[in-house]
Copies of this chain bind each other. A is one copy, B any other.
Amino acid sequence: MAAIADTAAPAESAVAYFEGEATAPEWLEKAAGQVEAFVAASDEVLTVVVTSGGTMVPLERRTVRFVDNFSTGTRGSRSAEAFLAAGYRVVFLHRAGSKRPYLSQMSMEALFDADGPGALVETGDGSLLVPNESPVVACVRARRAAKASGMLLEIPFVTVEDYLWLLRRVAQCVESLGARAMMYLAAAVSDYYVPTAAMPEHKIQSSAEALVLELEPVPKMLGALHAEWAPAALVVSFKLETDAALVEAKARRAIAKYGVNLVVANRLDNRNELVHVVHADASRPVVDVSPGAPGEPIEIQLVQTLKAEHEAFVRNS
């Protein structure tokens, strides 16, 4: 059902995309102002920009149908929690509605249900109580502390074009931090999209026949990110594969092609048990990372591994 057309244009570079017809989202400069204020307050602390969740590819201007990438934002939100615990300041760029730091471990349903470990308890005077043994309490306090101390800034995006504009602008904002900034690109970014100019205004009408969609490659951001927008930052990208045989080879290819510093490679089916950290220096062995203890999120060990790399990167820069 899927075919690569042999007549299509090659992938546009991100630089060409921004010089072309695309226009910035209205909210971009407001978000950039928030990041600039965040960066200005950063002192000598390490800062990470975490991207998280999937990007949406609208098929119509008034969006009814869209193509999406599977991502709940679990990797990104848990990583943000681990970075905060490791002392980082975190800019969390996330798909609107995907998981967010400390909000992801509990569901509204668990609170609302009449029983269960997180359930709200009737007090008898009309209010409801989260008992101090509930796991919700620690999450609420951790989230409030991260917000109140200014260690966490969250900015949402929806479409892949929103994401492209936001990533570039935020990279430019953190460039003043030099090597102390890490770009941690955990978002599941669409590979193909329909440029706004090529979209129909209204809902595509249904018919009794097949629907043929032709999508263009999304402009490649990684090369421009490293080469132009944040050349001093440590860039960590992700490679998700379902095919075990391709995981490391794809990571090496991304390093060779885009000049990223580290690639976190994993398979879809065991991504919470095993990830591979591949270094740009091919003489460095691949580091396999697993959870530090049964039930502990793998992101805690992953962030420890990356923090050690980041500290060495800062010393060597």
List A residues at the B interface (Cβ < 8 Å). Answer: 1-11, 59-60, 62-70, 100, 102-103, 106-109, 111-114, 120, 123, 125-132, 134, 136-137, 139-140, 143-144, 147-148, 188, 190-192, 194, 198-204, 206-217, 240-243, 268-269
Task: Evaluate contact between A210 and B5: CB separation under 8 angstroms.
Answer: yes
- From the candidates B6, B112, B208, name the one contacting A140 in the complex (CB within 8 A): B112
Cα distance A279–B209 in the bound complex, in angstroms: 28
Whether A69 lies near B62 (C-beta < 8 A) is no
A-B contact pairs, 28 of them (CB 8 A): A1-B59, A2-B212, A3-B214, A7-B210, A9-B209, A64-B70, A64-B240, A106-B108, A111-B111, A112-B139, A120-B140, A123-B129, A126-B132, A127-B131, A127-B134, A128-B137, A201-B242, A203-B241, A207-B217, A208-B217, A210-B214, A210-B215, A210-B216, A211-B214, A211-B216, A211-B217, A212-B212, A212-B214
Copies of this chain, tallied across the complex? 2
Q: Is the CB of A69 within 8 A of B64?
A: yes
Nearest Cβ in chain B — how far from A217, in angstroms?
A: 6
Chain B: CB-nearest residue to A207? B4
Query: Contacts A130-B120, A139-B112, A140-B128: A191 and B210 contacting too (C-beta < 8 A)?
Result: no
CB neighbours of A107 from chain B (8 A): 108
Give chain B nearest CB distance to A292 CB in angstroms.
26
Selected from B108, B194, B210, B217, the residue in CB contact (under 8 A) with A8 is: B210
Known contacts A103-B109, A202-B242; A192 and B211 CB within 8 A of each other:
yes
Known: A114-B147, A129-B127, A131-B127. A211 touches B199 (CB 8 A): no
